[in-house]
């Protein structure tokens, strides 16, 4: 791809890090150390630096990082933070795509990576109780011997944590049929901003009263820190068939999406991969994608055996009518995995085309897909910005990936500008600013496109009800003009007050 | 940026990482510590930050780089194609080059350069090790603090050293190929039996096998440690030694050596005099299993009534991306039952000199590996790299059951000749 502009010798990548690698108050570190042990409190600059990123392009450096192992340790760390008046940001695997785990205003990052135990697997009641650091796919692996699995399957499922999934209400290809994380969480154990441990929901279905579990799922770490999750497990489908339909034109493929649903089929997944993505992925996975096709649909149907083959047939016929030039069918697990490999590895493979990418997450009504997609391609052309589209077409959940070089001065700004324009396209088409990645830091200022000031004020009152104010994951979800990683006035005052001698 | 620092990783390589995190769960040190600094993504970020002058190459920061096994599991799963192995070698070379590396690191470089790379001194060193093994000094040292772990992990020798050079085996039946075999540095001293088995197996399959006298250490350990100058010098010596024989293939039974030799082209890309020959050499290098499967090899007829589990050497499965061929060899042996262990391609903790420099982490990884291996109930743990052989043998010594540790080729050799293992 063409990378326009000259590459500066000093990368702007670390500019904010340079500004922020300031020393930290010794007493904060000492208190954290006595709360959860010296070994699991990080404060050296080089140890903190790697917690300033997630999978987005935002940066924000923490003042301290703690890696608790138990709920009690999380609560203790939160109480220390409260005492010192510093914010807390929870982090799972750092694979998020909206800057949700980035400590925009410094403070403490609580990493749940060491809380990675499956506390209980209850096949009879089809549920599991897991710590937040458990990797999404590991739940399905543990449940597999019982013929069960955990349905939400973000593309990062080999690496992302269930705690992060809960925070962002993560979706995935199979959201179309089974819903997102919120539909699969029965209960939560949380730590409140005051450091209290509270249980929401439970192992039984249909808890009375307000659905506080549902409220915390998707709250992006602004209300509470999740320390245990009760997840629902589903029985594995008796039969699964994966189809890959190849099209010469994106428009044909996007029209086929609506046609499939209109034909009365509810696929387990209905994904679109455009030509650019296929070209990026092919050398890595050898999925057999044709190099000259403009789009492909990956369609998975599942259920009872007979019903599944009928559905597969209906999908095949519909795709043919829509102009598919080739249809491949994967029946065995190996064949299916191969068809999927290109989709699951797509995001990382785009890294081969450019040093950086910016992945957008917007939703439009399914029937508006063809028009909005054309709009996306048009806008990207206007900005001369290469774009690859790989997304959950069945949900109308778009993921344009803008590819650029973060070392080129001004490139990141242009990308953000273009991203904003594309999000606007989605909202104008009657859609939304996030399908599954969350609002995070990235899209907080688009919230006002969808919500009125009154709406946002009500949300802020919910936050207050949890006692969160600006203590948990500040700078996220709510509109604000402050940039991520800018030194907050609180920090400046703190540094000035303590003086250089008190630094560790 | 690289003007004054000839070894520094390139910006292009570093910027391949998009921080998607898909490497995390494949990294043995991240799995153990759950620390981002001990993950591939974190290490790449630290390397870039050191390169950009954001942080100093402090002992702490370099320690995170040093704790990397260089198993390259991350590289094999990276969808962005980050050349992690190359970056890590260059980052270490840069640290050594600018004098930032800690003393122990420089000491290690000295040992690798002055002992491992020099056959005469290495033989003396091995003789001393052999003697201390014989008089029980090593078992004694195992009980001491500080050196105990290293003594446990120190390789024990098996069989007579392999010292043959020139034509070492004539083809049985019609000659199908003329191949040259890498003897290497530690392998002929510690695992002479494996070399003899390899020569017999190749001969059995119609190969005339030679071991060029002028060859030496492949330089893998030096490159991994960041001593790229020595690695290049060793590569040049081997290129001369092997290409002068004009073999049909260069067959290597040590995964780490084959991986390094397949990358000679890369290593010497800046050397105008050797660049082309280095590429030519790399193209000739074949892992022994890869080569046998490609021939294809003759199916053995003798039965080995054994349950075998296979441990993938990292530099075979991840660096060379070869995991099917050794299993095909094992499955071809009548009576042999292949019992797969969990995470067979997770590093056993050997990782070259890692078992000495990072003994604590090495032992943690080894214990997990032994647990997985023993869970299969296998009689034999098979692998295909000297480091792994030594490490797994140490695992057995540490109380990891009664399993025997063998190179895959040793098993094939027995299945050809019908002698017990």
Answer yes or no: do B335 and B393 share one domain.
Answer: yes
User: Do residues A131 and A119 touch, judged by C-beta distance below 8 A?
Assistant: yes
Query: Rounded to a whole number, what is the largest CA-CA distance in chain B?
Result: 64
pLDDT of residue B144: 66
- Stretch among A5-19, A398-412, B253-267 having the lowest mean pLDDT: A5-19
Q: Does A460 touch chain B (CB under 8 A)?
A: no
Answer yes or no: do B290 and B334 share one domain.
Answer: no
Q: Does residue B227 lie in a domain region?
A: yes
Confidence of residue A418 (pLDDT cuts 50, 70, 90): very high
The better pLDDT of the pair A351, A500 is held by: A351
Which CATH number covers residue B43? 1.10.1060.10
pLDDT of residue A4: 37
pLDDT of residue B145: 61
Answer yes or no: do B205 and B229 share one domain.
Answer: yes
Q: Does A405 touch chain B (CB under 8 A)?
A: yes
pLDDT of residue A17: 54
Q: Do B52 and A11 touch (CB under 8 A)?
A: yes
Task: Indicate if the pLDDT at residue A274 is higher than 80.
Answer: yes
Confidence of residue A392 (pLDDT cuts 50, 70, 90): very high
pLDDT of residue A496: 42
Domains of chain A, start order: 118-235 (3.30.465.10), 239-348 (3.30.70.2190), 354-448 (3.30.70.2740)
The whole-angstrom separation of Cα B421 and Cα B414 is 7
Among A111, A100, A116, CA closest to A47: A111
For residue A282, the chain B residue with the least C-alpha distance is B79
Structural domain boundaries, residue B37: 11-101
Shortest Cα distance, chain A CAs vs residue B122, angstroms: 38
DSSP β-ladder status, B307-310 and B380-383? parallel
Answer yes or no: do B362 and B389 share one domain.
Answer: yes
Residue B185 DSSP code: S
Which CATH number covers residue B171? 3.40.50
Q: Which residues of B touch A346 (CB under 8 A)?
A: 79
Confidence of residue B143 (pLDDT cuts 50, 70, 90): low
pLDDT of residue A339: 87
Confidence of residue A503 (pLDDT cuts 50, 70, 90): very low
- Stretch among A263-267, A309-313, B397-401 having the lowest mean pLDDT: B397-401
Answer yes or no: do B352 and B281 share one domain.
Answer: no
Mean pLDDT (chain A) is 88
Mean pLDDT across the stretch B37-49? Answer: 97
Confidence of residue A118 (pLDDT cuts 50, 70, 90): very high
**How is B8-43 classified by DSSP, letter by letter?**
SPPHHHHTT-----TTGGG-HHHHHH--GGGSHHHH
Task: Indicate if the pLDDT at residue B125 is higher than 70.
Answer: yes
Answer yes or no: do B331 and B401 share one domain.
Answer: yes
Answer yes or no: do B216 and B315 share one domain.
Answer: no
Q: Do A10 and B52 touch (CB under 8 A)?
A: yes
Answer yes or no: do B195 and B251 share one domain.
Answer: yes
Q: Does A284 touch chain B (CB under 8 A)?
A: yes
Among A182, A188, A190, A219, CA closest to A201: A188
pLDDT of residue A14: 56
Q: Which residues of B touch A349 (CB under 8 A)?
A: 79-81
pLDDT of residue A341: 83
pLDDT of residue A442: 84
Q: Does residue B148 lie in a domain region?
A: no
Q: Does residue B64 lie in a domain region?
A: yes
Answer yes or no: do B213 and B284 share one domain.
Answer: yes
Task: Indicate if the pLDDT at residue A20 is higher than 60.
Answer: no
Mean pLDDT across the stretch A54-77? Answer: 94
Q: Do B79 and A51 touch (CB under 8 A)?
A: no
Q: Does residue B142 lie in a domain region?
A: no
Mean pLDDT across the stretch B30-46? Answer: 97
Q: Which residues of A touch B63 (CB under 8 A)?
A: none
pLDDT of residue A504: 29
Mean pLDDT across the stretch A282-302? Answer: 87
Percent of residues, chain A, with pLDDT higher than 70: 91
Residue at a domain's end among B271, B294, B317: B294
Mean pLDDT (chain B) is 91
Interface of B with A in 10-29 (CB under 8 A): 11, 15-25
pLDDT of residue B227: 93
The better pLDDT of the pair B47, A280 is held by: B47
Answer yes or no: do B171 and B288 share one domain.
Answer: yes
Q: Is the ipTM of this complex over 0.85?
A: yes
The better pLDDT of the pair A43, A493 is held by: A43
Task: Indicate if the pLDDT at residue A340 is higher than 70.
Answer: yes
Answer yes or no: do B337 and B258 share one domain.
Answer: no
Task: Indicate if the pLDDT at residue B80 is higher than 90.
Answer: no
Q: Does B125 touch chain A (CB under 8 A)?
A: no
Q: Does residue B137 lie in a domain region?
A: no
Answer yes or no: do B343 and B289 share one domain.
Answer: no
**How is A167-232 classified by DSSP, letter by letter?**
HHT---TTHHHH--GGGGEEEEEEE-TTS-EEEEE-SSS--SS--HHHHHTTSTTSS-EEEEEEEE
Task: Indicate if the pLDDT at residue A495 is higher than 60.
Answer: no
Selecting from B1, B18, B21 the residue whose C-beta is nearest the C-beta of A9 gives B1
Element (H, E) at B180: strand B177-181
Q: Does residue B300 lie in a domain region?
A: no
Q: Does A158 touch chain B (CB under 8 A)?
A: yes
Shortest Cα distance, chain A CAs vs residue B369, angstroms: 19
A228 phi, psi to nearest 5 deg = -160, 150
Q: Does residue B111 lie in a domain region?
A: no
Task: Indicate if the pLDDT at residue B353 is higher than 90.
Answer: no
Q: Do A21 and B21 touch (CB under 8 A)?
A: no
Residue at a domain's end among B255, B271, B294: B294
pLDDT of residue A7: 34
pLDDT of residue B230: 94
The better pLDDT of the pair B123, A418 is held by: A418
Selecting from A53, A158, A352 the residue whose C-beta is nearest the C-beta of B81 gives A352
Q: Domain total for chain B?
A: 3
Residue at a domain's end among B101, B132, B149: B101
**How is B227-249 classified by DSSP, letter by letter?**
-HHHHHHHHHHHHHHHHTT--SE
Task: Indicate if the pLDDT at residue A499 is higher than 60.
Answer: no
Q: Which residues of B touch A114 (CB under 8 A)?
A: 34
Q: Does residue B157 lie in a domain region?
A: no
Confidence of residue B419 (pLDDT cuts 50, 70, 90): low
Selecting from B21, B42, B46 the residue whose C-beta is nearest the C-beta of A95 gives B21
Mean pLDDT across the stretch B404-419? Answer: 91
A/B interface, count of CB pairs below 8 Å: 123
The structure tokens listed for B67 are 């704790």
pLDDT of residue B147: 66
């Amino acid at each position: 791809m063409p990378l326009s502009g000259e590459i500066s010798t000093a990368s702007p990548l670390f500019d904010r890090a340079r500004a922020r690698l300031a020393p930290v108050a010794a007493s904060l570190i000492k208190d954290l150390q006595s709360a959860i042990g010296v070994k699991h409190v990080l404060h050296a600059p080089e140890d903190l630096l790697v917690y300033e990123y997630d999978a987005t392009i935002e940066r924000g450096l923490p003042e301290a990082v703690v890696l608790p192992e138990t709920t009690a340790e999380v609560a203790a760390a939160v109480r220390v933070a409260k005492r010192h008046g510093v914010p807390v940001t929870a982090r799972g695997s750092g694979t998020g795509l909206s800057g949700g785990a980035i400590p925009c205003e410094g403070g403490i990052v609580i990493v749940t990576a060491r809380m990675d135990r499956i506390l209980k697997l209850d096949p009879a009641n089809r549920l599991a109780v897991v710590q937040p650091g458990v990797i999404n796919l590991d739940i399905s692996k543990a449940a597999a011997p019982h013929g069960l699995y955990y349905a939400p399957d973000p593309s990062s499922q080999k690496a992302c944590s269930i705690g992060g999934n809960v925070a962002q209400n993560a979706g995935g290809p199979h959201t179309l049929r089974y819903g997102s994380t919120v539909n699969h969480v029965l209960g939560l154990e949380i730590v409140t901003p005051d450091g209290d441990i509270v249980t929401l929901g439970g192992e039984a279905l249909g808890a009375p009263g307000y659905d506080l579990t549902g409220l915390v799922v998707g709250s992006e770490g602004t209300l509470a820190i999740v320390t245990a999750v009760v997840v629902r497990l589903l029985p594995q489908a008796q039969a699964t068939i994966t189809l890959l339909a190849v099209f010469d034109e994106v428009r044909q493929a996007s029209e086929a999406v609506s046609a499939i649903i209109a034909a009365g089929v509810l696929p387990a997944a209905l994904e679109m991969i455009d030509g650019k993505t296929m070209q990026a992925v092919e050398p890595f996975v050898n999925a057999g994608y044709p190099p000259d096709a403009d789009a492909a649909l990956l369609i998975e149907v599942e259920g009872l055996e007979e019903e599944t083959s009928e559905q597969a047939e209906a999908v095949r016929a519909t795709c043919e009518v829509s102009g598919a030039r080739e249809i491949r069918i994967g029946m065995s697990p190996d064949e299916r995995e191969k068809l999927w490999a290109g989709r699951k590895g797509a995001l990382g493979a785009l890294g081969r085309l450019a040093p950086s990418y910016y992945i957008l997450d917007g939703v439009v009504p399914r029937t508006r897909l063809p028009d909005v997609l054309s709009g996306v391609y048009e806008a990207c052309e206007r900005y001369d910005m290469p774009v690859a589209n790989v997304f959950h077409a069945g949900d109308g959940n778009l993921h344009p990936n803008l590819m650029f070089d973060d070392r080129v001065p001004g490139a990141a700004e242009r990308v953000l500008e273009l991203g904003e324009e594309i999000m606007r396209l989605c909202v104008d088409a009657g859609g939304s600013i996030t399908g599954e990645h969350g609002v995070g830091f990235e899209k907080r200022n688009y919230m006002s496109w969808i919500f009125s000031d009154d709406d946002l004020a009500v949300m802020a009152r919910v936050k207050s009800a949890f006692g969160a104010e600006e203590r948990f994951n500040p700078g996220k979800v709510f509109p604000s003009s402050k940039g991520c990683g800018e030194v907050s006035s609180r920090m400046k005052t703190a540094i000035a007050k303590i003086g250089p001698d008190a630094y560790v | 940026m690289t003007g004054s620092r000839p070894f520094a990783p390139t910006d292009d390589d570093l910027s391949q990482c998009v921080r998607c995190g898909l490497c995390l769960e494949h990294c043995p040190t991240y799995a153990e510590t759950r620390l981002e600094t001990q993950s591939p993504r974190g290490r790449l970020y630290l390397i870039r930050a050191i390169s950009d002058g954001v942080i100093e190459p402090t002992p702490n920061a370099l320690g995170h780089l040093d704790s990397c096994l260089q198993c390259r599991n991350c590289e094999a799963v990276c969808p962005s194609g980050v050349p992690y192995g190359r970056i890590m070698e260059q980052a270490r070379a840069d640290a050594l080059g600018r004098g930032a590396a800690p003393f122990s690191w420089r000491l290690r470089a000295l040992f690798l350069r002055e002992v491992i790379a020099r056959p005469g001194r290495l033989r003396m060193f091995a003789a001393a090790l052999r003697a201390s093994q014989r008089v029980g000094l090593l078992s004694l040292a195992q009980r001491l603090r500080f050196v105990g772990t290293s003594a446990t992990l120190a390789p024990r020798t098996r069989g007579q050293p392999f010292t043959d050079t020139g034509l070492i085996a004539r083809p049985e039946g019609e000659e199908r190929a003329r191949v040259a075999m890498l003897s290497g540095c530690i392998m002929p001293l510690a695992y002479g039996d494996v070399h003899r088995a390899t020569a017999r197996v190749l001969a059995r399959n119609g190969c005339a096998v030679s071991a060029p006298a002028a060859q030496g250490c492949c330089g893998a350990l030096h490159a991994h440690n960041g001593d790229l100058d020595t690695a290049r010098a060793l590569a040049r010596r081997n290129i001369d030694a092997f290409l002068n024989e004009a073999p049909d293939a260069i067959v290597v039974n040590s995964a780490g050596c084959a991986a390094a030799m397949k990358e000679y082209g890369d290593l010497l890309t800046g050397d105008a005099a050797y660049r082309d020959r280095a590429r030519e050499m790399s193209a000739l290098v074949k892992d022994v299993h890869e080569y046998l499967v490609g021939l294809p090899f003759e199916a053995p007829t003798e039965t080995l009534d054994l349950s075998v589990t296979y441990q993938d050497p990292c530099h075979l499965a991840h660096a060379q991306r070869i995991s099917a061929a050794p299993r095909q060899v094992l499955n071809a042996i009548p009576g042999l039952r292949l019992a797969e262990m969990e995470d067979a391609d997770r590093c056993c903790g050997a990782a070259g000199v890692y078992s000495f420099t990072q003994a604590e982490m090495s032992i943690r990884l080894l214990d997990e590996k032994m647990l997985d291996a023993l869970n299969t109930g296998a009689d034999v743990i098979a692998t295909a790299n000297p480091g792994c052989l030594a490490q797994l043998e140490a695992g057995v010594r540490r109380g990891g059951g009664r399993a025997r540790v063998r190179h895959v080729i040793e098993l094939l050799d027995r299945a050809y000749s019908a002698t017990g293992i």
